[in-house]
Amino acid sequence: MKIIWKVVYIRNLLLDVFYPEKCMLCGKLLAESPGGVCKACRSRMPYILGDRCIKCSKRTDGLHDVCMDCKRRRHIYRQGYALFEYDRNTERVIADIKYAGKWRNIDWLTKELAYHASLYMKKWDAQLIVPVPLHKSKLRKRGFNQAGLVAGLIADEYNIPYDDKLVIRRKKTRPQKNLDDNERKRNLKNVFCVDRSRYGKYVDLRTVILVDDIYTSGSTVDACAAELIKAGVKDVYFLALCIGNGYS
């Protein structure tokens, strides 16, 4: 068992004794082995099943390989994978992690993501995993970067190096969710950069996976990918817990 999973396992044992695990959706105690959601709520978690966009992983109608969002804009990243659709249930689960301190939910979500993304991980053969960073002021206020927690667990599961300081968020930005496509791009202009001194320690770094909790239009992933490619990376991929409907 990898070191991060050991820490998570021990922490969860203690939590199970003093704070028995509850279903992320209905709040009932989980009588069975810990698993995020109870059997009754399992169908409420919106796994993306069936046809996916070959670029961003968004659900498609089966008639096209690429979703309408990826047809209308050229992404900088190479390919991505997301596990769930971003609906009212996943929105609530992610909000509970960010604002209600329900870190335990990340464990189950990440294990699911690691399992279902295995074919992509093998194909991509990444040399480094990097989370989409928070601005330092938000990191101080929240105390953690949810994308960093997911990325660290994925990296440990697949035995891939992890660096949460390689990509830096230089500026505070407006929330992306209420902006249109052009506003998102302007909002992220010159926001990210790569720490060149850290980058210099990697020899022949060709392939990087960016990790975020939610993917909507791809503007954030593209902005980070652009900086990594500018620094010398050849291919950038992404993993996300959830993916929104974008503009299609």
Could you tell me how far CA 2 lies from the centroid of its own chain? 20
pLDDT 10s digits, 10-65: 555 555 555 677 889 998 888 665 568 888 888 899 999 999 999 999 999 888 89
Higher pLDDT, 229 or 31: 229
Centre a 10 Å sphere on the Cβ of residue 242 and count the other Cβ atoms it contains: 24
User: Please, where are the H alpha helices in the chain?
Assistant: 3-18, 68-72, 88-99, 104-116, 118-124, 136-142, 146-158, 181-187, 196-199, 219-231
Count of CB atoms situated within 10 Å of the CB of 89: 18
Residue closest to 127 by CA, chosen among 207, 231, 234: 207
User: What percent of the chain is modeled with pLDDT above 90?
Assistant: 59
pLDDT of residue 15: 57
Alpha carbon distance 169, 57 (integer Å): 25
State the pLDDT at residue 103: 78
Check residue 90 and give its pLDDT: 95
Express as a percent the part of the chain with pLDDT over 70: 84
Query: In this predicted model, what pLDDT tens digit does every residue of 112-146 receive, in sequence order?
Result: 999 999 999 999 999 999 999 998 888 888 888 99
Phi, psi of 80 (to 5 degrees): -145, 170
CB 60 within 8 A of CB 51: yes
pTM for the model:
0.87
As given in the structure block, the two tokens for residue 122 are 């093998």
Complete DSSP assignment for 200-230: TTSSS--EEEEEEEEESSSHHHHHHHHHHHH
The pair of three-digit structure tokens given for residue 180, joined into one six-digit string: 């249109």
